[in-house]
Chains A and B, each alone.
Chain A
């Protein structure tokens, strides 16, 4: 075989924007979050499990859910990690600021976990089972970034 230098062709900074539908259930969640700073879940009529974010169908029971319930805003840390490696966030194309707390919050009254940032200024307080509350953004956008992060409360 010929001894040559192997060439790599670069794509350049390709960008492909999308427009995501969140449906009626997702829209209700974001309206409540934006207008009233409240969290909305939905209860399964069969297994009674409360889902956050709300969605139309309980996957376990495969039945339609219609009963909206308010959950949170406080909750407990269900599980978490602290991200310490630098990586490019594919949603923004820029490097994600590290370290950051990657939290799964069990909002009061909910049975599933809600993902968001956890404040890790004092890492010793960030533990599974710790009580947390949301810190909201001043700007009301009607998306997940209306919450800045959750912080541990004593």
Chain B
């Protein structure tokens, strides 16, 4: 249990692009860090500890905690690295929450980053899977997501047109976000006509590869309200793992998200998530997840995801907007991606999301997803949580 309340008091992001040859890793990290410090009106001297991470093997150099001091500002400070694959960014956020909630540190700087342009993404992702039992047929992120979608479609009769509707939504939302990589709308027809990568996933159903970094500053209650008049309070976090080999997965449902959601909502007294939550920033690496995982989250009953998406409820202006930032389909610097969801949810609660702002946000949810079918979740709120 948390010993004290924790809030996000500042966020910073790079302007994410497919290639950033103008900066190396340290310099990319530095951009996000300076923007977060400016946002919170703090200097690096005010920071007590740093948590940093990315997904190993994308850059051909590990141990970012050691070599990134110029970028992170970690000179003579406690620095720790967390890396959990796709969930790295959200795990960083949960780690930051633990650092502050435990009473160990008052102001923590959390950094997620990736330079996906520096290697072959499929090759790098493959290194996260068992070499003997998982790799023979494995084809990176897309293969696992495709088999999930196939299972779901066989069970509930969803179509690739349903998936495409989610891509259309997220790509439209991304046009409101100056930090997103892909800021151009797509149509249903364009998604369906784009090359088939792995049945039923088309090119425009999946996330791109991105260079980018995100930084978030968390502070204890003693400091949060002095730093900002609109802190984003972290109500609770939840995380679930369930995987040894890919063949052990219950394909077609994301069990880890179902369990994490139950845990998260129970901790916060959320009984009707669809009504009580105002916005979701979901780590949704492909379109069909936008249908399947809202069922796992308990937003709609099993098999009703597509209908809910088509109703427009998750569009901007709808009952429960999802991914006002454009989400992962529009931008995916992997080690930063989960932390960007957290930062975007914080912007929504703080009322600082500008053109992508959802009105009157009291509760926001941010999530993280890893290819090993893991889930991280955070609940963000405008009011202070009970301890």
Interface residues of chain A, those whose CB is within 8 Å of chain B, are 6-8, 11, 14, 18, 20, 22, 26, 51-53, 55, 59, 78-85, 87-88, 90-91, 96, 100, 102-104, 112-117, 128-129, 143-145
Indicate which residue in A20, A87, A104 contacts B132 across the interface (CB closer than 8 Å).
Answer: A20
A85-B154 in contact (CB<8A): no
A128-B247 in contact (CB<8A): no
Q: Mark B218-259, 1 if CB is under 8 A from A, else 0.
A: 000000000000000000000000101111110110000000
B21 to chain A: which residues have CB within 8 Å? 6-8
Indicate which residue in B126, B138, B154, B248 contacts A112 across the interface (CB closer than 8 Å).
Answer: B248
Chain A nearest CB from B71 CB (Å) reads 18
Chain A nearest CB from B374 CB (Å) reads 13
A80-B133 in contact (CB<8A): no
Indicate which residue in A104, A112, A144 contacts B147 across the interface (CB closer than 8 Å).
Answer: A104
Q: Mark B159-175, 1 if CB is under 8 A from A, else 0.
A: 00000000000000000
A81-B146 in contact (CB<8A): yes
Chain A nearest CB from B263 CB (Å) reads 17
B195 to chain A: which residues have CB within 8 Å? 84-85
A52 to chain B: which residues have CB within 8 Å? 247
**Cα separation A91 to B143 with both chains bound (whole Å):** 16
Residue in B closest to A113 when the chains form the complex, CB atoms: B247
Task: Given A88-B120, A88-B122, decide whether A6 and B22 contact each other with a Cβ distance below 8 A.
Answer: yes
Indicate which residue in A7, A81, A91, A145 contacts B199 across the interface (CB closer than 8 Å).
Answer: A81
A128-B154 in contact (CB<8A): yes
B247-A102 in contact (CB<8A): no
B249 to chain A: which residues have CB within 8 Å? 113
Report which residue of B123, B147, B201, B249 has the largest number of chain A beta carbons within 10 angstroms of its beta carbon. B147
Residue in B closest to A116 when the chains form the complex, CB atoms: B137
Nearest 8 pairs between A and B by C-beta?
A81-B146, A6-B21, A90-B123, A113-B247, A79-B151, A81-B198, A85-B197, A128-B154
